[in-house]
């Protein structure tokens, strides 16, 4: 039997995952000191990875919730862990986002980095391997492996090529994430031991087997907490979000794009993939607390965005607010909410990625990100103004663009769960309109601040072509979201069905609790 049994008889997931690192290795060994050559190699590598992900999408059977393109070979048999890869609709959607953003950041940082460019591009290629592996892994240890591998290149990207306070930001990023994930490691080992079918068996790390294991409520409680803290730091949820603004402000543009576009999604993905199906009893207990934290994140993130002076920090805090919709949607525990959460993740990846690119491109011209020192930029930079308007509108949830559909579904899910909470959450969208439009007003209109800007070039073809695919995708998701909803539907549905009985069990207790909050359901 082949170690992999999939639609196309070709280990597409492994090839896709390791292709970027292979490209990076070739660049390191053969292309030192030849910038043009290695930049093109990086572009071709990420391009090929993107094409592979499209091929995978084309062959993906979207009528089943089963995992596909399965590859399974022994890795460390004595430890009970195997190299097990596989994807479902949720993974496919996030993989597409990852490969697209990874492709876009290469031309976006074509001329951005002056120092040690080779290391910069290699870091991103290794990072792409880590991200893709995380979305494909079907073995807990393998997952943890890829999860941690992402940290190292990102740490270097912020710490070496970042802004003036890069060392502090890199530290903070690394320590926050790692402190969360070592807790997860203990929980992984613990459940692997507890899930053994008999006392003499090896620990169980395989997700297919873990999914069938039943844990006592005490185990679930602590394991859920350990997993959830790791993921909550990544999302990031209020109050463990404080690493995010620092990391974003100091990171180079491409780093911010990947950080906001993909790395934050790891948190939501982890919750969907592990926290809910493995520990459903505990998840239900935590619903009210997590929903309250999510609402705080939505409102707090938006309000803090309002008062930011730094353009990049504004986008960073808006991420906290948007990601609040993800956790709120997931913990509404119904199909609509979960689908909404996944769509918010996808759309946030596109839009925030684009916004960070825009901020980066503007910074390259003006050498400042301070909103107060901008103004009237619409006259000298009409193309930039148009693009920023488009992505700001999409991000504030204008119907017809991608931001709307996810947050709408997420709120709808929350509404069926609890009306009062949905109403509070909806204020987040209003606040988003406020901070984004006000930002646009101050940056693009209100009188030209500096006459010399007329001599600066508007966005080049390279810069526009980085943003164009994101723009197209934003319209696609906004106008015809069915393409993507159909992709995730079976998996989301399975998850919602799986959770429904647990919710019913605890439903009485919860509705009672919320009735006292004035909501009722």
Please name every residue paired with 85 in a beta bridge, in sequence order, or none if there are none.
Answer: 71, 137
**Rounded CA separation 351/301 (Å):** 17
Q: To the nearest whole angstrom, how small is the minimum distance from the Cβ of residue 14 to other proteins?
A: 14
Please name every residue paired with 68 in a beta bridge, in sequence order, or none if there are none.
Answer: 87
The closest alpha carbon to 180, from 245, 141, 236, 233, belongs to 233
Is the CB of residue 302 less than 8 Å from the CB of residue 329?
no
Please name every residue paired with 137 in a beta bridge, in sequence order, or none if there are none.
Answer: 85
Q: To the nearest whole angstrom, how small is the minimum distance from the Cβ of residue 72 to other proteins?
A: 15
Q: To the nearest whole angstrom, how small is the minimum distance from the Cβ of residue 204 to other proteins?
A: 12
Helices (H), 379-481: 382-395, 402-417, 419-444, 461-479
**Rounded CA separation 297/512 (Å):** 24
- Closer to other proteins at the Cβ: 171 or 427? 171
**Rounded CA separation 253/143 (Å):** 27
**Rounded CA separation 109/285 (Å):** 45
- Closer to other proteins at the Cβ: 203 or 349? 203
Is the CB of residue 304 less than 8 Å from the CB of residue 388?
no
Q: To the nearest whole angstrom, how small is the minimum distance from the Cβ of residue 84 to other proteins?
A: 15
Residue ranges that bind other proteins, judged by CB under 8 A:
74-79, 116, 141, 144-145, 148-149, 151-152, 155-156, 159-160, 167, 170-171, 174-175, 178-179, 182-183, 185-186, 189-190, 193, 203
Using DSSP's 3-state secondary structure scheme, residue 86 falls into strand
Report the phi/psi class of residue 193: left, alpha or beta, with left for phi > 0 and alpha for psi in -120 to 50.
alpha
- Closer to other proteins at the Cβ: 79 or 472? 79
Please name every residue paired with 439 in a beta bridge, in sequence order, or none if there are none.
Answer: none
Helices (H), 116-263: 117-136, 140-161, 166-194, 207-212, 217-234, 243-250, 253-258
Q: To the nearest whole angstrom, how small is the minimum distance from the Cβ of residue 211 to other proteins?
A: 20
- Closer to other proteins at the Cβ: 156 or 502? 156
- Closer to other proteins at the Cβ: 142 or 471? 142
Q: To the nearest whole angstrom, how small is the minimum distance from the Cβ of residue 179 to other proteins?
A: 5
Q: To the nearest whole angstrom, how small is the minimum distance from the Cβ of residue 361 to other proteins?
A: 25
- Closer to other proteins at the Cβ: 159 or 376? 159
- Closer to other proteins at the Cβ: 144 or 215? 144
Q: To the nearest whole angstrom, how small is the minimum distance from the Cβ of residue 247 to other proteins?
A: 15
Using DSSP's 3-state secondary structure scheme, residue 68 falls into strand
Pair of tokens at residue 416: 């069926």
- Closer to other proteins at the Cβ: 9 or 77? 77
Using DSSP's 3-state secondary structure scheme, residue 400 falls into coil
């Amino acid at each position: 039997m082949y170690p992999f049994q999939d639609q196309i008889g070709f280990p597409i997931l492994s090839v896709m995952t390791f292709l970027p690192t292979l490209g990076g290795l070739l660049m390191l060994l053969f292309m030192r000191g030849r910038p043009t050559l290695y930049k093109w190699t990086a572009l071709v590598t990420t391009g090929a990875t993107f094409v592979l992900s499209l091929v995978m999408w084309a062959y993906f059977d979207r009528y089943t919730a089963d995992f596909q393109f399965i590859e399974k070979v022994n890795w460390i048999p004595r430890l009970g862990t195997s190299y097990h890869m596989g994807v479902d609709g949720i993974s496919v959607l996030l993989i597409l986002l990852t490969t697209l953003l990874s492709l876009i950041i290469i031309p976006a940082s074509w001329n951005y980095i002056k120092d040690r460019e080779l290391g910069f591009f290699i870091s991103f290629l290794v990072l792409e391997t880590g991200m893709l592996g995380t979305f494909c892994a079907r073995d807990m240890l393998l997952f943890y492996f890829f999860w941690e591998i992402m940290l190292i290149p990102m740490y270097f990207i912020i710490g070496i090529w970042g802004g003036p306070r890069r060392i502090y930001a890199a530290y903070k990023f690394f320590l926050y994430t790692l402190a969360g994930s070592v807790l997860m490691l203990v929980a992984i080992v613990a459940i692997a031991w507890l899930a053994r079918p008999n006392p003499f068996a090896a620990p169980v790390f395989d997700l297919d087997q873990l999914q069938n294991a039943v844990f006592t409520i005490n185990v679930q409680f602590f394991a859920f907490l350990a997993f959830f803290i790791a993921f909550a730091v990544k999302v990031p949820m209020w109050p463990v979000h404080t690493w995010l603004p620092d990391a974003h402000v100091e990171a180079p543009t491409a780093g911010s794009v990947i950080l906001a576009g993909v790395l934050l999604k790891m948190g939501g993905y982890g919750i969907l993939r592990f926290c809910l199906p493995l520990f459903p009893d505990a998840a239900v207990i935590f619903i009210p607390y997590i929903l309250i934290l999510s609402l705080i994140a939505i409102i707090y993130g938006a309000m803090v965005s309002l008062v930011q002076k730094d353009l990049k920090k504004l986008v960073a805090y808006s991420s906290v607010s948007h990601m609040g919709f993800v956790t709120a949607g997931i913990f509404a525990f119904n199909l609509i909410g979960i689908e909404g959460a996944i769509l918010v993740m996808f759309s946030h990846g596109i839009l925030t990625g684009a916004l960070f690119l825009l901020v980066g491109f503007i910074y390259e011209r003006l050498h400042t990100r301070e909103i107060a020192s901008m103004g009237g930029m619409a006259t000298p930079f009409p193309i930039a103004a148009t693009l920023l308007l488009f992505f700001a509108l999409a991000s504030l949830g204008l119907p017809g663009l991608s931001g709307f559909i996810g947050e709408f579904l997420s709120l709808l899910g929350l509404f069926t769960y609890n009306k009062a909470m949905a109403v509070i959450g909806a204020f987040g969208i209003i606040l988003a309109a406020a901070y984004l439009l006000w930002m646009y007003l101050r940056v693009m209109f209100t009188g030209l601040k500096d006459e010399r800007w007329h001599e600066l070039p508007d966005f080049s073809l390279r810069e526009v072509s980085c943003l164009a695919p994101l723009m197209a995708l934003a319209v696609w998701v906004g106008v015809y979201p069915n393409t993507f909803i159909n992709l995730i539907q079976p998996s989301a549905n399975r998850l919602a069905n799986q959770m429904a009985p647990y919710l019913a069990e605890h439903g009485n207790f919860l509705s009672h609790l919320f009735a006292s909050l004035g909501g009722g359901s």
